[in-house]
């Protein structure tokens, strides 16, 4: 899939990588807002793509959201998510 964008929100500073390449950074303390930051155009390769993030948050709960969107800002479909948190 070509020309997709990663659209994220987090309630603290966060950094996001796709397949080992940093694609987004949010600085500072904030409220979690959907689509707060959108990446440059990305390509999802055939097979496994690895999306990683680091979230820095003070006391309390952490909130975040992420999705891939197309050129019109609509959610991309046709892929499967696998949670591999260890």
What pLDDT score was predicted for residue 86? Answer: 62
What's the burial of 21, exposed, middle or buried (CB within 10 Å: 0-12/13-18/19+)?
exposed
What pLDDT score was predicted for residue 73? Answer: 92
Residues in CB range of 14: below 8 A, 6 or more apart: 8, 24, 25, 26, 53, 54, 55, 56, 64
In this prediction the pTM is 0.85
**pLDDT tens string for the chain (86 positions)?**
999 999 998 888 889 999 999 999 988 777 777 888 899 999 999 999 999 999 887 777 778 889 999 999 999 998 888 877 66
């Amino acid at each position: 899939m070509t020309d997709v964008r990663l659209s994220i929100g987090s309630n603290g500073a966060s950094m996001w990588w796709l397949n080992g390449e940093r694609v987004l950074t949010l600085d500072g303390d904030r409220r979690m807002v959907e689509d707060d930051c959108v990446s440059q155009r990305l390509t999802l390769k055939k097979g496994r793509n690895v999306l990683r993030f680091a979230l820095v948050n003070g006391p309390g709960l952490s909130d975040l959201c992420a999705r891939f969107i197309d050129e019109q800002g609509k959610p991309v479909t046709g892929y499967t998510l696998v949670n591999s948190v260890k």
